[in-house]
Amino acid sequence: MGRVFTLGVGAISLLCLAAFIDAVGAQAGDRAAAQSAQYMCPMHPDVRGKAGDVCGKCRMALVPATADYHPYHLDVDLTPRALRPGEKGRARFIVRDPTSEAIVKRFEMVHERVFHLFIVSRDLEFFAHVHPSLHPDGSLDAEVIVPRPGAYQLIADFLPSGGSPQFVQRAFATAHYRGSFTQPPAPVADVADKIGRDMTVHLAPPDVHAGREQLLTFELRDRTTGAPIADLEPYLGAIGHVLATSADLSVAFHSHPVDAVSSPSGPNVVFQILFPRPGMYRLWAQFQRAGRVTTVRFTVPVAD
């Protein structure tokens, strides 16, 4: 015959208390895990952590994360509406909440600026990296000068506070332009060494394929002596910046070095880049030395 065990009220109370403590502990652990995942890197949203942490890839401070990506609305107004080459114009931006359409007035600081603006010509020959000023009413504006007639692309990179990272493009053309907005250029591969203001830049790409993260290494040498550079300076919070676009400008992304495998002040600056599809990509790389920024460009073929 089996034996039946009975528990007194005190024992039952102790068991209930233990179960309650376990449940509370589990809930606290869940809350702690959730809180630790509520911060993300603005440039690498897959990197999560807690308040005060920095990204292990680029050393940027983590910012509050959102559960889902929501595209914000970007209004752009050019003055004059049809810019003339070589003349000063002004671009004004308004960012609107995707749900309420309210004007966004608060942005996270990403690499020392709240808004990065790239201006690229459709033929991929012109590139500029500027930073609009934020005003109390939420509007942002920047001076815009383009060198010659043609079609251009404004590429905006920003992070609304409490939102997700945004990368938005808008097209415009100069006065009297009658050419195509849709016919892409046909750039040829160009990975030869580039000579900048005071440096020579060598790109050491792997066998680049679409759909996988890969490391691109830029090797920098002094233009005069040929010696490896060891005095790079941070430019906008990083020792390098890369803007990459597909030939038709339908794909564009802004990347920063991976600190763990880059030299802190040169000569090797390493970027982790994922090209989403095959084709030709134009890369503009920027580095600062002695207070002056050097911009060089490469055209990289990406295989399937």
The reported pLDDT for the residue numbered 10 is 36
State residue 12's pLDDT score.
28
In this predicted structure, what is the pLDDT of residue 51? Answer: 87
pLDDT in tens, 239-276: 999 999 999 999 999 999 999 999 999 999 999 999 99
pLDDT at 56: 75
At 186, the pLDDT band (50, 70, 90 cuts) reads very high
Kindly report the CATH class assigned to 194-302: mainly beta
Query: Whole-angstrom distance between the N-terminal and C-terminal Cα of the chain?
Result: 73
Q: Which of 13-17, 28-32, 54-58, 292-296 has the lowest mean pLDDT?
A: 13-17
Query: Domain residue spans in the chain?
Result: 73-173, 194-302
DSSP the chain: -PPPP---HHHHHHHHHHHHHHHHHHHHHHHHHHHHTSEE-SS-TT-EE-TT-B-TTT-PBPEE--SS--PPEEEEEEESSSPPTTS-EEEEEEEE-TTT-PBP--B--BTTBSEEEEEEETTS--EEEE-PEE-TTS-EEEEE--SSSSEEEEEEEE-BTTS--EEEEEEEE-TT--S-SS----PPPB-S-EE-SSEEEEEE--S-BTTSEEEEEEEEEETTT-PBP--EE-BTTBS-EEEEEETTSS-EEEE-B-GGGS-BTBSEEEEEEE-SSSEEEEEEEEEEETTEEEEEEEEEEEB-
Higher per-residue confidence, 20 vs 160: 160
At residue 43, the pLDDT reads: 65
Q: Look at 23-37, 172-186, 216-230, 253-267 and tell me which has the smallest mean pLDDT.
A: 23-37
- Give the pLDDT confidence of 132-164 residue by residue, as tens digits: 999 999 999 999 999 999 999 999 999 999 999
Highest mean pLDDT pick, 56-70, 175-189, 281-295 = 281-295
Q: What is the pLDDT of residue 47?
A: 83
More confident residue, 288 or 62: 288
| 194-302 and 73-173 share a CATH fold | yes
- Has residue 21 got a pLDDT over 70? no
Q: Percent of the chain beyond pLDDT 90?
A: 73
Q: Higher confidence at residue 69 or residue 32?
A: 69
Mean pLDDT for the chain overall: 87
The pLDDT-based confidence of 69 (bands split at 50, 70, 90) is confident
Predicted model pTM: 0.82
For residue 37, the model assigns a pLDDT of: 54
pLDDT of the residue at 219: 98
- Tell me the CATH architecture of domain 73-173: Sandwich (2.60)
pLDDT of residue 63: 78
Above 50 in pLDDT, residue 84?
yes
